[in-house]
Amino acid sequence: MKKCIIITTIHQPNESIEAFAKSDYDLIIVGDLKTSEASYSDRKDLTFLGLGEQNDLSPKLSKLIPKNHYGRKNLGYLYAIQQGYDIIAETDDDNIPYKGWGNFEKYKTNRAIIAPERPNPLKEFTSKKIWPRGYDLRLVNKRQRHVYGNNEAPVYVWQGVADIDPDVDAIYRLTRNNKVKFKIRKQIVLGKEVYVPGNTQNTIWTNPEIFYSLYIPCTVTFRYCDILRSYLAQKMIWMHGGRMGYNHATVYQERNVHDFFLNFIDEIPVYLHTPKVIDILKSFDPKDPKDLISLYKELYYHDIVKKKELTIVKEWFKCLK
């Protein structure tokens, strides 16, 4: 299978990028205004998409997506789809892979969480009090028992966790900020109509049929865009008969410098909107990939995305043709 991993960065090549460049996945680096193109342009072991290359892929889409925004990663997805990749992985430039990263073919898919409706997936890999970014805060202190069942559906997205500095929200970092080493356990699949947050930290998409749902919304905050994407993608994946699975840590994070309070401000829409987004999804019944556009219209009507989002996502689908 033709496999790639996509990373967005403004930094020069570091330990993370060098490690993924040596993996058996083709490395695609998506640049932005602050990225030093000279650091990547002569590399033979990766593909660099600067703003010029992104514009060549689709001048209109490249213009619509704001610069200095994580949504530039959409141009990387578009490139990978146009190049015919069968597997698309994604991470960030501060995650470093363990040996064996990316070997999703060996993951177990027979066991699923079928209840509650909004479980905390990190509970599967640690007994510590911790929750992922994008989790419904109303449930943080609620005791919930995971109920398991057999899974026969294929897993189209694998969401891995990250050791040391996992993808948690700013409230966790401001109040606890404990480093975590997750236990190595068998993978767990999320049943249909079981809603959990995913991200772009350590994620592998295994079926080109659902690559259209890689689209990252561009009119929400940086700390919200991939979380919102993950919830919407789950709904579309169910339409195709697939599932999302969670895996133990196959990377560890040496996190770039962040201001936790600024992260908190950036995440306010996550805290406020997540329950509403799930309510919208529960009543939404997609029949076709382009129903993702209709889903974004619903989000616009509820003031979750801006009107420009509809223009961008329509152009995204035009580019996929």
Residue 255, pLDDT score = 80
Look at the alpha carbons of 209, 210, 213, 214 in this order and tell me if their dihedral is positive or negative: negative
Using alpha carbons only, how large is the chain's radius of gyration in Å? Answer: 18
| Pick from 246, 132, 115, 279: nearest CA to 192 | 115
3-class state of residue 84 by DSSP: coil
Residue 303, pLDDT score = 98
| Pick from 2, 5, 38, 39: nearest CA to 21 | 5
Residue 30, pLDDT score = 97
- The answer for 271, left when phi > 0, alpha when psi is -120 to 50, beta otherwise, is alpha
Look at the alpha carbons of 319, 39, 201, 102 in this order and tell me if their dihedral is positive or negative: positive
Structural domain total, the chain: 1
Residue 257, pLDDT score = 78
Measured CA to CA, the distance from residue 69 to residue 57 in angstroms comes to: 18
Q: Are 229 and 140 in contact (CB under 8 A)?
A: no
| Angle CA 180–20–131, to nearest 5 | 25
* Residue numbers of the domain that contains 194: 3-320
CATH number at residue 95: 3.90.550
Q: Are 314 and 251 in contact (CB under 8 A)?
A: no
Kindly state the DSSP code that residue 69 receives in the 8-state scheme: S
| Pick from 110, 91, 319: nearest CA to 215 | 319
CA distances from residue 314 to 45, 74, 86, 233, 311 in whole angstroms, order as listed: 33, 13, 23, 16, 5
| Pick from 79, 214, 201: nearest CA to 156 | 214
Residue 321, pLDDT score = 84
Give me the residues of the chain with pLDDT under 50, please. Answer: none
Residue 161, pLDDT score = 97
Type of residue numbered 255: R
Query: Largest Cα–Cα distance in the chain?
Result: 53
Q: Are 26 and 45 in contact (CB under 8 A)?
A: no
Measured CA to CA, the distance from residue 288 to residue 244 in angstroms comes to: 19
3-class state of residue 23 by DSSP: coil
Give start and end residues of each alpha helix (H) in the chain: 15-21, 51-57, 59-64, 73-82, 170-175, 222-239, 260-282, 291-301, 307-320
